[in-house]
Amino acid sequence: MGRLFWKLFAWLWLAMMLSFVGGVSYLHLTGDRDLPASMAAARTATLLATAEGLLARSGTDAAVVAIAGWNADPSAPAVALVAEDGRRLVGPPSALGQGGTRRRVEAADGRLYTLATGVDVVDTGDPGPPFAVPLVSGGLVALLFSSLLAWYLSRPLRQLSWALHAVARGDFSTRVRHRMGSRRDEIVDLGSDFDRMADRLQRLVEGRQRLLHDISHELRSPLTRMQAAIGLLRQSPAKTAAMVDRIDREAERLDSMVGELLTLARLEVGAGVIARERVDLIELLGAIAEDAAFEAEACGRAVRFTAQGQFVCTVAAEVLCRAFENIIRNAVKFTAEGTGVDVTAAVIADAAGVGDRLCVSVVDHGPGVPEEMLDKIFEPFLRLDGAMTATTAVAGFGLGLAIARRAIESHGGRVGAALAPHGGLAVTVTLPAAAGPAPPPPRLA
């Protein structure tokens, strides 16, 4: 049992005991005026039994003295002693009224007397429980109830503490909600929040491990080729020019990959540290599409751009330019020769007629990707060579779309992919007019 259990138990038990003791003490001190009828009857039965014993053992005089003393207490029930000839030896006339209890008793001198009281008494001979009996029984009930309630409240917190320690040890697969049963309260909500946090941490850690593996693999390939070129250069000095060119290309490849990794890392930290400026995104898209069309023309492809109006907002123009370039050039790379890429930009207005979102669609005419991989093409180092045509030459590191997604999400936007009706890939980007960081998840009140 933890400290919380004992704190809850102690305070609950103390509160119930104080309430119980206060109530019983009040009833005990105020006497029969406030006691329930059953307790008044029990007290009267005790007095009658005592008077009977005095008459039988000590005689009439002792009984008269005792009854007179009882009647002097205004909180005690009135008792009268009547001789066989009808004379009232002690007690008020009210004790001889209608109803009540009458008992015939033989005294020590052999004479018969009548004990009378105005309270109805069931003659059980049992004087009733003493004051300590309800006190002890109430304390035991309070003890049991406090223990159960303290256990009910502290048990899920102990489970949550165990789960937190497990995550701290690196076990991100730990989940705690299913251990809390079917209860519905704020502690269970906290357990659900913990499970979501653990799931997020698990995916982040697995993503980082996969990223490190992919980076090491991507670095190993050009380094291996550079080492091979250096070995050939040592063996065949006549191939110096060709080997130097090869080493230079691999060095440029490494430099390009490191640059993209730095860009991705900068976006992971947040684009808020990058200078922002007020630009027209539709005009920026037009310039990017024009450059991409010039490059695509050399390989027998085309880029068609369709847009109207303006969409002016404050953004990190360099970051968004890199994002749209990566998306459009990726489409140009995979669209079939003799076809083109359709880039469409449209301003979506709200009910007040103010343009608040920019929707950009980039559709190619390539082989597309498997439907189950649509959500994964924006992950770093993911290249679906096998999903493309056998003759497609795939260059790059699989970082372009990952950089694009980070850049767009850092401006509060969303990016997604879907299969086009003709079999190509359609990438859709949505940006708000007040482009800013994506809002954090809501906090619980």
Active-site annotation, residues: 217
- What H or E segment, with its residue span, contains residue 143? helix 132-168
**Closest to 156 (Cα-Cα) out of 198, 201, 200, 190:** 190
Which residues are 101's β-sheet partners? 117
- For the CA atoms of 183, 184, 188, 189, what is the dihedral angle to 10 degrees? 160
> In 3-state terms, what secondary structure has residue 98?
coil
Is residue 19 within 8 Å of residue 135, measured between CB atoms? no
Q: Are strands 302-307 and 340-349 parallel, antiparallel or unpaired?
A: parallel
Closest to 81 (Cα-Cα) out of 100, 102, 57: 102
**Count of beta carbons in the 10 Å neighbourhood of residue 58:** 14
In 273-368, the DSSP E strands lie at: 277-280, 302-307, 312-315, 340-349, 355-363
CB atoms near residue 267 (< 10 Å): 23
Q: Is 206 helix (H, G, I), strand (E, B) or coil?
A: helix
Q: Look up residue 20 and give its amino acid.
A: F
Integer Cα distance of 94 and 116 in angstroms: 10
- Total residues found in the chain within this entry: 445
d(CA 231, CA 225): 10
- Dihedral of CA atoms 178, 181, 184, 190 in degrees, nearest 10, equals -40
3-class SS string, 226-262: HHHHHHHHHHCHHHHHHHHHHHHHHHHHHHHHHHHHH
Instruction: Supply angle C-alpha 329, 379, 262, rounded to 5.
Output: 75
Q: How do beta strands 101-106 and 88-90 pair?
A: unpaired
Six-digit token pair at 162? 């165990």
Return the bridge partners of 112, or none: 106
Contacts of residue 225, defined as CB under 8 A and 6 or more positions apart, other chains included, come to 246, 250
Cβ atoms of 81 and 90 closer than 8 Å: yes
